[in-house]
Chain A
Amino acid sequence: MTWNPTGWFFLDTYREGVITMRVSAVGVRTARPRAAVLLSLLVVALLAPSAPFAHTGTAQTRHDRAAADGEVTLRVGIQQEFDSLNPFLGFSLAATDVFRLIYPTLTTYAPEDFSVMPELATEWTSSPDKLTWTFRIRKGVSWSDGEPVTAADVVYTFERMMNDPAAATANGNYVDNFAEVHAPDARTVVIRTETPQATMRSIAVPIVPEHVWSGVDDVAGFANQRMPVVGSGPFVATEYRPQQYLTLEANEDFWRGPPTVDRLRFVNFENSDAAVQALRKGDIDVARELTPAQFDALDGARDIERVRGKGRRFYEIVLNPGATNSAGSPIGTGHPALRDVRVRRAIDHAVNRAELVDRVLGGYGTVGAGYLPPIFRRYYWSPPEEQRRSFSIEAANRALDEAGYPRGPDGIRRGPSGKPLDFEFVLHGDSATDALVGEFVKEWLARTGIRVRLLPVSDNQVNQRTTAGDFDMVVSGWSVNPDPDYVLRLQTCGARPDPGGGGLPDSFLCDRRYDELYRRQLTEFDESERVETVKRAQRRFHEMATGLILFYPNALEAYRADRFSGFLRQPAERGVITAQQGYWGYYRAEPTERARTAGGGGGYRSAALALGGALLLGGLVVAAVTVHRRRTAEHRE
């Protein structure tokens, strides 16, 4: 660049400063023209790089869109950095989305309805005692370096997770119950579990190539950034620039057939507004995790199609029912009144979910009911009319009166021990949603004679307080997998923290009947029986009212309709494009004719060369003029 002349200006002024006594001679030089030259140089230097692009802007964009004739790149804006590209370590949403694209899994979820379907495993059987599972591995699948994918790779992956604690970081819970894994032949994997486990058909562990990973001694220290990454999914990761972008090329040999696009690129944005602007401009094709305001603003935008998908997430308020650890000893600072299920139910009556969806989510969400979100239709349960606790401050007041919590002179209700119902409500400090929910709930509960003190803290502290039981009320929420086992387990006695830490509790519900239902669904291999049991577990959870499910936020996305006519969404009904439980959205994107036929590049190179030449020439001229001036000036001295 041309900073040298300007930098020189600065130093030169200095030199003059030191030799002030000789000014009579220096004064001969004319100052104004030089200053003007420098200023114009500055302006040119700052703005020049843009000038040629202004004229060739379309050419440059076109180049970006299609490196060669007919090639299509799908560019997805993401707002989260990959925590790691190592599938044993990374478990951020962004990372798992990539692992699904580059590594095979035994089974996957169908795009239509999340039903389990074959992926690397073509079929599977279980022994009569449900302890031994046999998976048949697909024939003719190969890694991107040409090696065949065999049962040995699967065994290697699971065994590594079972034997190397570092390798268990991301998906260790899947192999917790594994007793032994072996491969009787190259096409067969046999897994023996300690106890029967209904979730064996949905092990979402990325399978890695043994011939690559057996050379990795320290999994924890392995970034897996040597490109191209050896995988066997529909795409191959080929270029990674941290915090900028990750490029994946289509795997032409993918056993299900090559993807519809030639290239997939995840582009990092540090703020969602910039991602939206990039979408408007056409720099990216898909933007996700939009806020309701951004989603509304994109209404009617040219060439942009909006997707309002059902979300996988539920959002709840946890009421501390008297937390205990796995040894059964009470822990934490929960308010005694909340141990009374009647108080918890009364609080539920005082929460206006419809208003929360309307005011907090801008209408982009579903009113909360059962534990599992309605995107999973099969397991979805909502309380029947007679069990529903609809919003009614009067009903809440009545229930509290009947339960024996009279109001004190200050209007705050008192418990049997005379302790006022004064609850600490822990919120995620950086979440706008939490802040709004907190304000609303505080207001509603005040009308029932319950005082709420809002306590916004860092995410880390929320987690720590939740684990330690140090809260009266806390905001919580989970993303639910197609198999509900994981979130159902959160409410069991077994999820309570060990005396020495560990464990991952949610609401500290430790209820014999719930646990019995949980155990039954885990060992129930009849699909419809299992669904029924899961629904009954949700009913029990609702009865106990330790977690008040507020809403299920929508997943808001938008894409360039001029470049893509559609995506395979999951589920078929009001599904999402990105962050699916599978690779369908990216794999079966539908580029438009326009995206395919956009001309090749070339504009960029000529523009760049023209600009470079101009800058170089300009720099030379300026340098020559300046040197000439200085010479002249020195002569005059």
Chain B
Amino acid sequence: MTDTLEHGGTRRSGTVPRTLGFVARKLGGAAVSLGLVAVLGFFLFRVLPGDPARTMTRSAPVSAEQLAQLRHRFGLDQPLYAQFRDFLGNLARGDLGTSYTYNRPVTELIGERLGPTVLLVGTATVLAVLLGLWLGTRAAWRHGTATDRWFTSVGLTLWSVPTFWLGLLLLMAFGVGVGPLPGLFPVAGMSSPDVPPGVLPRVLDVAHHMVLPCVTLVAVIHAQFMMVMRSSLLEEMGAEYLTTARAKGLRDDAVRRGHAVPNALLPTVTLVFLHLGMVVAGAITVETVFSWPGLGLLTYEALRVPDLPLLQGTFIVLASSVIVMNTLAELLYRVLDPRVRA
């Protein structure tokens, strides 16, 4: 870090073009990845066995003419390259096709489910990151002590617990109530139908519904942030600059917060951003347990049918969100860590 300050002056002249080049490179890479995702999204699901036209009719008796009609309506009677060309054209216009099962535009369906997922998984991720960082810092600072062992073992136990099982357990204990404990939280959905009008009651109602799924998610995922934070802080623990700081007479807390943590935080950023990409993908199991109307559930249903346009659509949206988040992380890295800029 001192390096940057010392050499900063000599390199200043080249910084702007270098930065632009860097940004351009990263954005270009992301664009290529997105293109590959679009191609992959198209071909990947066409490998799935099954005739889409028959999928659409499920168990209804249909004549060959009706099947032909369906194939024509969804463009399935055309050769693969023509379908691909149409697919790319539509994609460019933001049209992801029509779902076989729901008979509605895929973009509309995804739009409907995106909000709830981002709300739930986003909130849970923010909380898990905060909790994980905080616990990880404490555990590393006092490594080897009972606190460390306690945090680590609880975190790892929750991490290895099946999400479905933990969710159902919480649902029974806090949703339905056990013994004298009344059911405190709703067991399903994200809103009640009979909420009085007004913004505040609605917000509170959603928050109320969100508690159990959110707690489940945080309990399960916080361990990874904690462990990464713990190990990267442990690496810093022996560093000489900490000794220097202590020698200046700083209190232990100040050394940790002001010196050790900021340096140890960098590896965690990667993980956080990787995880942010997953936010959109949602948590299929949690959404299933708590009947949360999210995107994870939609993807799962689409896969079961299989509903090709819907699968394609969700695949592209999910993969893109990971790519966008990763690109963002790389760009942000440069801002956050002077060493990357060097």
Which residues does A use to contact B, with CB under 8 Å?
A: 1, 3, 6-7, 9-10, 13-14, 16-18, 20-21, 23-24, 26-32, 35, 38-39, 42, 46-47, 49-50, 53-54, 57, 63-64, 67, 81, 83-84, 86, 89, 91, 165-166, 168-170, 172-173, 220-221, 223, 239, 241-245, 247, 265, 267-271, 273-275, 277-278, 280-281, 283, 430, 458-461, 463-464, 467, 478, 489, 495, 498, 500-504, 601, 604-605, 608-609, 611-612
Q: Who on chain B is nearest to A246 by CB?
A: B193
Which residues of A lie under 8 Å from residue B101 when comparing CB positions?
83
Whether B103 lies near A242 (C-beta < 8 A) is no
A49, B174: Cα distance in complex, Å: 13
Contact B1 A267 (CB under 8 A): no
* A17–B262 touching, CB < 8 Å: yes
Q: Which residue of B lies closest to A505 (CB)?
A: B61
Interface class of chain B by DSSP: helix
Quote the shortest CB–CB distance from B162 to chain A (angstroms).
Answer: 14
| B293 pairs with A244, CB closer than 8 A | yes
A-B contact list, 28 entries, CB within 8 Å: A9-B130, A13-B257, A13-B265, A18-B262, A20-B258, A23-B259, A27-B258, A46-B215, A54-B184, A64-B192, A165-B66, A173-B60, A244-B190, A244-B293, A245-B189, A270-B291, A277-B176, A458-B306, A459-B304, A460-B54, A461-B49, A478-B59, A498-B64, A500-B64, A501-B54, A502-B67, A608-B205, A612-B204
Interface centre among A268, A270, A464 (most CB of B within 10 A): A270
Partner of B185, one of A23, A28, A50: A50
Complex CA gap A54/B196 in Å reads 19
**A-B contact sample (13 more), CB < 8 A, given A32-B253, A63-B194:** A27-B254, A49-B211, A57-B183, A169-B57, A241-B193, A271-B291, A274-B291, A280-B176, A281-B176, A430-B304, A489-B61, A504-B61, A608-B196
Contact residues, B215-269 vs A (CB, 8 A): 215, 218, 245, 248, 250-251, 253-259, 261-263, 265
Whether A608 and B256, one on each chain, are in contact in the complex, defined by CB atoms closer than 8 angstroms, is no
Is B168 interfacial (CB 8 A cutoff)? yes
Q: Which of B182, B203, B205, B254 contacts A26 (CB 8 A)?
A: B254
Number of contact residues on B: which range applies? 35 or more
Interface check B187, CB cutoff 8 A: yes
The answer to the question of B148 belonging to the interface, with a C-beta cut-off of 8 Å to chain A, is no
Chain B residues contacting A6 (CB-CB under 8 Å) are 126, 130
A269 contacts across to B, CB distance below 8 A: 188, 291
Complex: A49 Cα to B51 Cα, angstroms? 48
Say yes or no: A1-B207 contact (C-beta < 8 A), given A13-B262, A460-B305. yes
Q: Is the CB of A501 within 8 A of B64?
A: yes
Question: Is B5 at the interface (CB under 8 A from chain A)?
Answer: yes
- B186 near A42 with CB under 8 A, answer no
CA distance A7 to B205 in the complex (A): 23
Q: Chain B's nearest CB lies how many Å from the CB of A66?
A: 9
Kindly list chain A residues whose C-beta atoms are within 8 Å of the C-beta of B127: 42, 46
B113-146 interface (Cβ within 8 A of A): 113, 123, 126-127, 129-131, 133-134
Contact between chains at B102 and A83 (CB < 8 Å): yes
Fill in one digit per residue for B303-342: 1 if any A CB lies within 8 Å of its CB, else 0: 0111000000000000000000000000000001010000
Q: Say yes or no: A21 contacts B2, CB within 8 Å.
A: yes
Task: Give the complex CA separation of A42 and B112 in angstroms.
Answer: 29
Question: Which single member of A9, A500, A609 contacts B200 (CB below 8 Å)?
Answer: A609
Instruction: A84 to B99: give the CA distance in the assembly, Å.
Output: 11
| Contact B193 A265, beta carbon cutoff 8 Å | yes
Contacts of B2 in A (CB 8 A): 21
By a CB distance below 8 angstroms, the chain A residues around B253 are: 30-32
**Chain A contacts of B297 at CB under 8 A?**
243, 270
When chains A and B are docked, how far (Å) is the Cα of A29 from the Cα of B254?
A: 8
> Given A53-B208, A244-B191, A502-B64, are A23 and B254 neighbors across the interface (CB < 8 Å)?
yes
Top 8 A-B residue pairs of the complex, sorted by shortest distance between their CB atoms: A17-B262, A27-B254, A502-B64, A243-B293, A460-B50, A31-B253, A504-B61, A23-B258
Query: Which residues on the B side are within 8 Å of A84 (C-beta)?
Result: 102-104
B15 contacts partner chain A, Cβ-Cβ < 8 Å:
no
* In contact, A274 and B187 (Cβ under 8 angstroms): yes
Q: Which residues of B contact A (CB under 8 A)?
A: 1-2, 5, 48-51, 53-55, 57-69, 73, 98, 101-105, 112-113, 123, 126-127, 129-131, 133-134, 168, 171-172, 174-177, 182-196, 200-201, 203-205, 207-208, 211, 214-215, 218, 245, 248, 250-251, 253-259, 261-263, 265, 287-293, 297, 301, 304-306, 336, 338
Q: Which residues of B contact A458 (CB under 8 A)?
A: 49-50, 304, 306
> In the complex, which residues of chain B have a beta carbon less than 8 angstroms from the beta carbon of A49?
204, 207-208, 211
Judge whether A47 and B183 touch: CB under 8 Å: no
Taken together as a complex, chains A and B put the C-alpha atoms of A3 and B128 apart, in Å, by: 13
* A267: chain B residues within 8 A (beta carbon): 188-189
A460 & B306 in contact (Cβ 8 Å cutoff) = yes
Question: Which of these, A35, A244, A478, A503, contacts B134 with CB under 8 Å?
Answer: A35
Neighbour of B60 across the interface among A91, A273, A478, A601, CB < 8 A: A91
Q: Which of A247, A460, A463, A609 has the most CB of B within 10 A?
A: A460
In the complex, are the beta carbons of B51 and A464 less than 8 A apart? Answer: yes
Q: Which residues of A contact B194 (CB under 8 A)?
A: 63-64, 67, 601, 604
User: Taking the nearest CB of chain A, how far is it from the CB of B183, in angstroms?
Assistant: 5
List residues of chain A with CB within 8 A of the CB of B134.
Answer: 35, 38-39
Asked whether, in the complex, the Cβ of A467 is within 8 Å of the Cβ of B54, the reply is yes
Residues of the A chain whose Cβ atoms lie less than 8 Å from the Cβ of B305: 460
Indicate whether A20 sits within 8 Å of B188 (C-beta atoms), given known contacts A165-B66, A498-B64.
no
In the bound complex, CA of A67 to CA of B197 (Å): 13
Docked pose: A500 CA to B256 CA in angstroms: 73
B201 touches A20 (CB 8 A): no
Q: CB distance B184 to A53 under 8 Å?
A: yes
Q: How far is the CB of A325 from chain B (nearest CB, A)?
A: 11
Q: How far is the CA of A86 from the CA of B101 in the complex (A)?
A: 12
Kindly name the residue among B57, B133, B188 whose own CB sees the greatest number of chain A CB atoms within 10 A.
B188
For B201, give its contact among A39, A50, A270, A605 (CB under 8 Å). A605
Which residue of chain A has its CB nearest to the CB of B190? Answer: A244
B191 contacts A14, C-beta separation under 8 Å = no
CA of A463 to CA of B257 in the docked complex: distance in angstroms?
62
Could you say which residues of chain B place their CB within 8 Å of the CB of A461?
A: 49-50
Contacts of B68 in A (CB 8 A): 500
